[in-house]
């Protein structure tokens, strides 16, 4: 209860004010960011002009001449609703084309990432570099050298985020076309394997430790101080973070994909049969990477089954590769490692064993 208080220039960032009562209170030039006002009441409160009541999800009513401001429940919708009417299911050609890098005959395309400008970044781990294929080109350019990258993430501003583990676990940030070396954002005690930067600029990392424990680490945009948000026995690999900061990550060791709600202490299985590898549509066998589309459909590299799986609701299907058959033809994959989509939803799949990146249109 803040009765009789005067709050001036107060930053209420991430404060829980549920069911609070503000009586005869004047609030001036305050910032409300990620703050819960559910059930709060504001009586005789005046707000300065720089406060956007609509942005706060507040409703304003006049009761007996007294201004009462109460809240509407805050919600976050991570995905779009499908358009009305019957939607046709997306399909990709079974025959892929090969993206070629002429810089070396022995490259190992490990993890890949497509930035918002359709530039493809490749972690060529064995050759200690990051290769970038500009939009529309099939010849890559080395943009980061002398680095053993486990994964790569790039934003629209040309910032490249890289987890490395040799000799020590590091999270590094490089700038595209800069002559300066990258800067170290954080140290990681274990082996950082996957990285994803959310829309809010928070960095998420999957980490594997020496005692077979996995952790999901969060580095807030403002401080990059490490926050452990999940720890279990597993073998984590790639991950994806939706706009509500829910984390999806693949557990290669236990053949499953899990979703971790940032506001909960538990993760839920969203794909695969935990602990049981298999080649049916419900099973996974050593999954390595994951992407979600705008409607919440999951796309998974099912490495040991040599295929890419798409899960939509309760239905799972193979969209690239042939289940259980490894090969080097246009229709085959061989231990696929990572996947990416461009803005036209062409599918890119990397494979270290075939030393190639395949494009399914």
Cα–Cα distance measured from residue 146 to residue 155, given in angstroms and rounded to the nearest whole number: 21
Cα–Cα distance measured from residue 203 to residue 194, given in angstroms and rounded to the nearest whole number: 10
Residues of the chain short of pLDDT 50, as ranges, are 1-19, 23-38, 47-73
pTM: 0.79
pLDDT the model gives residue 223: 85
Cα–Cα distance measured from residue 354 to residue 227, given in angstroms and rounded to the nearest whole number: 37
Cβ neighbours of 336 (radius 10 Å): 28
**Pair of tokens at residue 308:** 């890419």
**Pair of tokens at residue 107:** 């490259």
Compute the CA torsion angle 287, 288, 292, 293 (nearest 10 deg).
-100
Residue written as tokens 């829910």?
Answer: 246
Return the SS3 of 144.
strand
pLDDT the model gives residue 80: 82
Contact 252, 288 (CB under 8 A): yes
Cis peptide before 15 (omega within 30 of 0): no
Contact 312, 267 (CB under 8 A): no
| Class of the CATH domain delimited by 97-360 | mainly beta
- What is each CA distance from 150 to 68, 120, 220, 337, in whole angstroms? 54, 16, 21, 12
Residue written as tokens 């231990």?
Answer: 335
User: What single DSSP character describes residue 201?
Assistant: S
Return the SS3 of 126.
helix
Full strand arrangement of the beta sheet holding 338-341: 97-99, 356-360, 347-351, 338-341
Query: What are the pLDDT digits (tens) for 39-72?
Result: 555 555 554 444 444 444 444 443 334 344 444 4
User: What single DSSP character describes residue 173?
Assistant: E
Contact 147, 128 (CB under 8 A): yes
Contact 9, 32 (CB under 8 A): no
pLDDT the model gives residue 159: 97
List where CATH 2.120.10.30 sits in the chain. 97-360
């Amino acid at each position: 209860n803040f009765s009789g208080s005067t709050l001036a220039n107060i930053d209420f960032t991430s404060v829980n004010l549920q069911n609070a009562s503000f009586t005869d209170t004047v609030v001036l030039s305050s910032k409300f960011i990620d703050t819960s006002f559910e059930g709060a009441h504001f009586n005789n409160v005046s707000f300065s002009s720089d406060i956007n009541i609509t942005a706060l999800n507040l409703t304003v009513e006049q009761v007996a001449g007294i201004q009462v401001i109460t809240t509407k429940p805050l919600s976050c919708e991570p995905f779009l609703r499908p358009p009305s009417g019957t939607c046709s299911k997306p399909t990709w050609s079974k025959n892929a084309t090969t993206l070629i890098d002429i810089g070396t005959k022995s490259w190992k395309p490990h993890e890949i990432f497509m930035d918002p400008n359709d530039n493809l970044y490749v972690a060529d781990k064995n050759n200690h570099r990051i290769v970038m294929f500009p939009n529309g080109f099939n010849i890559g350019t080395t943009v980061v050298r002398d680095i053993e990258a486990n994964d790569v993430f790039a934003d629209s501003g040309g910032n490249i985020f890289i987890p490395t583990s040799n000799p020590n676990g590091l999270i590094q940030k490089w700038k595209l076309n800069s002559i300066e070396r990258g800067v170290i954002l954080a140290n990681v005690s274990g082996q950082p394997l996957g990285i994803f930067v959310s829309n809010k600029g928070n960095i998420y990392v999957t980490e594997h430790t020496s005692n077979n424990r996995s952790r999901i680490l969060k580095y807030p945009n403002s401080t990059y101080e490490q926050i452990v948000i999940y720890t279990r026995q597993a073998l984590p690999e790639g991950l994806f973070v939706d706009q509500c900061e829910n984390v999806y990550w693949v557990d290669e060791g236990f053949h499953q994909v899990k979703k971790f709600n940032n506001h909960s202490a538990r993760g839920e299985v969203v794909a695969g049969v935990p602990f049981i590898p298999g080649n049916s549509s419900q099973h996974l066998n050593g999954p390595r990477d994951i992407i979600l589309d705008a409607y919440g459909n999951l796309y998974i590299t099912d490495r040991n089954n040599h295929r890419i799986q798409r899960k939509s609701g309760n239905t799972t299907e193979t969209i690239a590769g042939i289940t259980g058959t490894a090969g080097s033809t246009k229709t085959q994959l061989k231990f696929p490692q990572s996947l990416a989509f461009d803005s036209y939803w062409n599918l890119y799949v990397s494979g270290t064993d075939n030393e190639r990146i395949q494009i399914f249109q």
